[in-house]
Structure 1
Amino acid sequence: MTLAAVTLVVVAGAWALRREPAGTAPPPAAASGRPPASAVVSGAATVTQAVQPAASGQSAHAGVRYTFDGGVTGPVLDGAGRLPLRIRSAGGELSAVPHAGGLAVRFPPRCEHYGAQSCARAILQSGPAEFLNPGQGAFTYGASVLVGPDETSKGANVLQKGFSVGDSQFKLQVDGAAGHPSCVIVGTGGPTIYVALASLTVADGRWHRVECSRRDALLTVAVDGQLKGRSAIPSSLSIVNADPLCIGGKGTSANNDQFTGAIDDVYVTKAA
């Protein structure tokens, strides 16, 4: 099947507000805005971002990978022992569940009314992570996800760094009732949101590997190793921000794009 390029162009006026009113949903497949200042991590923001030496043969700045095999009761470190993730919650809980001989992390159950203040919310969030900024360079990011047919939502972030308004961003999401994953990037030069939307659902109660890749003028999304969507992007697009890495949502505000289901093997890898 020929894959059509999917490019969403959003004018700045349509994204003037960084937060949707409680009880409303963001536009489909779009990268929603930055949470209010009160929702930004406090404890994790004080973590010293000292990059430790990586494993032999791996660049100290190549990226990060999280397996969650040590559970989520304390700081979650990447495979090189750096960039701790900490739980941030608003009435929600995270738990470790078995997966592939190790552990994955399960997020709060689906809320009946997206964006309601009463919805349980919980994410994993790092401190500032400038070393993950890809700039104009090639990079990949992704995760393994488990989403049931009854766990889809209008907003469901797997991982995110940065925001779509007045910032830059890369993001993986499984937004919408159909449960089609998509890769999202926004550059520093303007408000245009580029989306590579997969042509199939992952909301079938089985584990799937989803990978986003930016190479020159192309953004792609692959599911279980098969290319399933693409979008043309400017080769000069640059992603640089001082924001943390977030897993499972963009924050803990009511419209935090809370992911429902389980996540494992999260990674961000920059080209050498």
Structure 2
Amino acid sequence: MLVLVLAGCAHGRGVLTPVVAEPSKPGPGPAIGAAPGSSAPVHSGTAPGVRFTFDGGLGEPVGDASGRLGLRSRKAAGGQLSAVPHEGGLAVRFPGRCEHYGAESCERAILQSGPAEFLNPHRGSFTFGASLLVQPNETSKGANVVQKGFSVGDSQFKLQVDGEAGQPSCVIVGTSSATIYVALASRSVADGRWHRVACSRSNSLLTVSVDGAEAGRATIPSSLSISNSDPLCIGGKGTSANNDQFIGVIDDVFVTRTA
């Protein structure tokens, strides 16, 4: 499948680059391991990641489960975030769908950390994702779930649910190339039910899984490195009119990398 994706965090603008995403294959994902064969930083062992359950509500800062990183809300055009019940705890509902995508009048609201260099995976294996609730009428042209970094002049990892079909995809961009690599899921999550979506990079493979089953994959260079000083963004890439606002509910956001 040929995929053209415009990626970016905060206010960066991406470059459309074709990347061939391989069809989903059955079976478990690849084993976690560091990428060999380059002078770029390689890490081994384990390092702390982050996990946001939101069970403590939206009092700022919203801390992750280990207290390593805090989130603050950023809002525009009357956009609001609200805490809603989910599995005995809380999740975050983001603003509703706007009739005119990208209009200045569209409500925007996201959660954003400060600089989070400790989450940089470099060339190592890592996973990130979230639990999502998206109704069939809540899909949109752009819907960013979680991301860190820019796609131009930087590096990036991102989970999104772009497009009317509601198919999640995982995106990564390395420090030395503007090529945007995308693993697109073969199924939609916009069905009014909760789904667990995870992205995993291991050596030369990027995969997207839905509810524990691999749903798509793309081949990437094993030398690709992701390293930046940018914040972690949840629910959108900023508060500009074209912020790729997520519509729906997000819970249990996580990033886990090797050390």
Normalising by the smaller structure, the TM-score range is: 0.7 to 0.9
Identity %: 73
Query: 5 Å matches for 1:174-253?
Result: 174-253=161-240
CA shift, 1:32, in A, is 3.7
Query: 5 Å matches for 1:19-38?
Result: 29-32=5-8, 34-35=10-11
Output the amino acid matched with 1:89. K
Q: Which residue of 1 aligns with 2:55?
A: 69
Q: C-alpha separation between the residues in 1 aligned to 2:169 and 2:249? A: 17
Query: 5 Å matches for 1:1-272?
Result: 8=3, 29-32=5-8, 34-35=10-11, 61-90=47-76, 91-272=78-259
Output the amino acid matched with 1:157. N
Alpha carbons 2:96, 2:248 under 8 Å: kept: yes
Extract unaligned runs of 5+ from structure 1: 1-5, 9-27, 37-57
CA shift, 1:73, in A, is 2.8
Output the amino acid matched with 1:35. H
Residues 139-167 of structure 1, C-alpha deviations (whole Å, 9 max, x = no match): 00000000000000100000010011111
CA shift, 1:62, in A, is 2.0
Superposition RMSD in Å: 1.5
Q: C-alpha separation between the residues in 2 aligned to 1:252 and 1:122? A: 7
Output the amino acid matched with 1:216. N
- Aligned to 2:104, the other structure's residue is in SS state coil
Alpha carbons 2:51, 2:64 under 8 Å: kept: yes
Output the amino acid matched with 2:244. D
- Aligned to 1:241, the other structure's residue is in SS state coil
- Aligned to 1:134, the other structure's residue is in SS state coil
CA shift, 1:34, in A, is 4.4
Detail structure 1 runs of 4+ shifted over 4 Å in the superposition.
none
Residues 13-32 of structure 1, C-alpha deviations (whole Å, 9 max, x = no match): xxxxxxxxxxxxxxx64314
Residues 190-236 of structure 1, C-alpha deviations (whole Å, 9 max, x = no match): 11000000000000000000000000000000000000000000000
- Aligned to 1:150, the other structure's residue is in SS state helix
Q: C-alpha separation between the residues in 1 aligned to 2:56 and 2:200? A: 28
Instruction: Say how many residue pairs are matched.
Output: 226
Residues 115-152 of structure 1, C-alpha deviations (whole Å, 9 max, x = no match): 00000000000000000000000000000000000000
- Aligned to 2:137, the other structure's residue is in SS state coil
CA shift, 1:75, in A, is 1.1
Residues 73-111 of structure 1, C-alpha deviations (whole Å, 9 max, x = no match): 321100111211000000200000000110000000011
Alpha carbons 2:5, 2:180 under 8 Å: kept: no
Alpha carbons 2:8, 2:156 under 8 Å: kept: no
- Aligned to 1:96, the other structure's residue is in SS state strand
Output the amino acid matched with 2:156. Q
Output the amino acid matched with 2:148. K
